Each structure stands twice: as C-alpha cells, then as structure tokens.
Amino acid sequence: MEENLQVVLKEYIGDIEDVCNLLIRGINYSENLNLRNKYDFFKYRSSCKKMEFEVEGVSYQFHGKGCTAFSKERFWDWDFGYRSRWCGINPWKVSMTLKKNNKPYAEYYDGNILKATCEQLVEKGIMLKQYDQYYFEITAGETLKPEFPTEYDTLIIEYYNSSWSVPRSKITDRFIRKSTRVSTQIDQKEDRYTLKFLLNGKVIYTIPYSDMGYPENAVKIMSDEIIKNLL
C-alpha cells in the first residue's frame, strides 16, 4: 500500500506544480509581468487582492493557506507548501482531490488513512513533516556527492538574467560542508539557481541549486543567509 501511495502522492504534487505554473504563465501573459516562481507569485498576491483567476479554462479560487482549481474535466485542492514548493501533502485535500477526480484509488479517499500512512513514511525517513504538511525526502539513490572545490575565492550566483558575486567566507564554506548530497533530478527543475565557483577569475566548478535538492541544513545557509540577503 505504501509504495502505491507514494506513486499517487508524487503524481498529485506534479499535477499541482503544473496547474500553478499554468497560473503564473497566464498572469504574465495577461498583465505583462515576469513571475517566475512561488516567491514572485506571493509578492504579486500581496499587492493584488484578487481571489479568483481563470487561465485556459482552469478556474482558481484562493482560500486560507491554499487554492482550489477546476476545469470541466479536473479538480485540484491544495495548501501552499514549504519554501519554494507549490504544495505539500495535506491528507484531506489530497483525498478530496482524488475523490472528485474519480481516481481509481478509493482506499485513499479517507484523509485519516492518508495521514496515518504518511506518518509511517515519516518514521521510515521517506517523508518529512513541516508544520501540518508532508514532503518526500530525497533518497540516497536519488542523490550524488558534489565535488566542491577546496580552493576558490569567489562564488557567482546566477538566476535567470540576474547574477551576484559573493566573496569566499565562512558562510560559503559552511554551505559546502553541509551540502553532503545533491539531488540528481535538480537539472530537471526549471526554477533553479546556478552556482559558479571561481579562482583567480576562472570558473573551476559549476553546480545547480534549488531549495528542494539540497539538505535542509545547507538550504538554511544558501537560501536564508546568502540569497535572501542578496535579494
């Protein structure tokens, strides 16, 4: 049951990411903006008080910590997730989404069953719980050990058309020490940074970065101490 549930939950997460990216593409087109990710969208929402949107036949209605979206064929309900994640696993919203879409997983229509199974996956280290939602951990088989340089003098951080230069410091060194494993799927994420390590003006190592592909202790340094200060 647990293996089947993991497939179902990952499919749900992928569907929510798709419908959220459709929304920001629609807003960008209709309002001539350049929203790129969840953070951009939340900043937009802080100034735009609209609670309803429609993009390519999909209607969006915001509620509390999340959103409900539906078309003639599909229904989605979610709470926005931790850091850059568009959603986490709220067992009751997942169960409602499965039921409304008549998915062939009737055993998962009960949010209490989903919650109990997610708790078991947390105990096994397959999922983690942040606040009231569940997220998949990166398994060892989905990671690699990065070969960060021992000697460098500058870190360049690139994101779309922006670039920042950060001199080597105890903070950048600490990020390297905490980045023991990196997701092998990180290249598939459209929303990612590029880290370039330089020595004497030459790039000696390049690696992508996103807060979903690194250990949480490394993310707290790069996202919270370095990137946040740059922005």
pLDDT one-digit tens code per residue, 7-43 = 999 999 999 999 999 999 999 999 999 999 999 999 9
Taking alpha carbons only, the member of 52, 50, 54 closest to residue 71 is 54
| Of 138 and 65, more confident | 65
User: 10 Å Cβ neighbour count for 188?
Assistant: 10
Is there a single domain that holds both residue 120 and residue 146?
A: no
Residue 24 and residue 5: Cα distance in Å, rounded?
Answer: 29
| Of 227 and 49, more confident | 227
pLDDT at residue 79, rounded to an integer: 98
Residue 81 and residue 191: Cα distance in Å, rounded?
Answer: 15
Average pLDDT over residues 108-128: 93
pLDDT class of 77 with cuts at 50, 70, 90: very high
pLDDT at residue 191, rounded to an integer: 87
pLDDT at residue 111, rounded to an integer: 95
Domain end: 137, 153, 178, which one? 137
Is there a single domain that holds both residue 98 and residue 129?
A: yes
pLDDT at residue 201, rounded to an integer: 97
pLDDT class of 49 with cuts at 50, 70, 90: confident
| CA angle in degrees (0–180, nearest 5) for 87-82-191 | 75
Q: What is the mean pLDDT of the chain?
A: 94
189 pLDDT more than 80: no
Is there a single domain that holds both residue 48 and residue 146?
A: no
Is there a single domain that holds both residue 115 and residue 149?
A: no
Average pLDDT over residues 119-136: 94
Average pLDDT over residues 146-171: 97
Domain that holds residue 99: 2-137
Instruction: Please give the DSSP secondary-structure letter assigned to residue 126.
Output: S
Is there a single domain that holds both residue 58 and residue 110?
A: yes
Question: How many distinct structural domains can be found in the chain?
Answer: 2
User: 10 Å Cβ neighbour count for 149?
Assistant: 11
SS3 153: coil
Average pLDDT over residues 190-205: 95
| Of 230 and 89, more confident | 89
Is there a single domain that holds both residue 120 and residue 49?
A: yes
Domain end: 103, 137, 171, which one? 137
Residue 231 and residue 229: Cα distance in Å, rounded?
Answer: 5
Is there a single domain that holds both residue 113 and residue 55?
A: yes
User: N- to C-terminal Cα distance for the chain?
Assistant: 44
Residue 222 and residue 214: Cα distance in Å, rounded?
Answer: 10
- Exposure string for 39-60, b = 16+ CB within 10 A, e = fewer: ebbeebeeeeeeeebebeebeb
157 pLDDT more than 90: yes
- pTM for this entry: 0.88
148 pLDDT more than 90: yes
pLDDT class of 217 with cuts at 50, 70, 90: very high
Is there a single domain that holds both residue 173 and residue 186?
A: yes
pLDDT at residue 1, rounded to an integer: 64
Is there a single domain that holds both residue 123 and residue 155?
A: no
